[in-house]
Chain A
Amino acid sequence: MAVRPEPFARSTAISGRALSRRGLLEREGIFSWLMLAPGVLFLLAFVAYPFFYGIWLSLQQRQVSQAGTFVGLANFVTLYHDAVFWQVTGNTFIYVVVTTVLKLTGGLAMALVINQHFRARNLVRAALLLPFIVPTILSTVAWMWIFDPTFSVINWLLVHAGMIREGFSWLGNKTLAMVSIIIVNTWRGIPFYGITLLAGLQTISPDLYEAAAIDGASVGQRFRHVTLPIIKPIVIIVTMFSVIFTFSDFQIVYALTHGGPANATQVFVTYAFDLGMSGGQLGMGAAAALAMLPALALLIVGLTLYLRRE
Chain B
Amino acid sequence: MNRRKRRISTIRRLHRSLGAAAAVFILFMVISGMVINHSNGLGLDQRHVSQAFLLNWYGLGAPEHIRGFPVGDDWIIFAGSQLFLNDRQVSTVANGIGAVFNNHMLIAASNDELLLLDSSGQLIERQPWGPPEAGPIESIGLLADGTVVVKSTGQLWLADAELLGWQPAKETISELAWSTSKPAPQPLLQNITQQYRGEGLSVERLLLDFHSGRIFGPLGVFIYDLLALAVGFLSISGLVLWVRGKRNGKGNNGDR
Partners in one complex: no
User: Which B residues fall within an 8 A CB radius of A?
Assistant: none
User: Which A residues fall within an 8 A CB radius of B?
Assistant: none
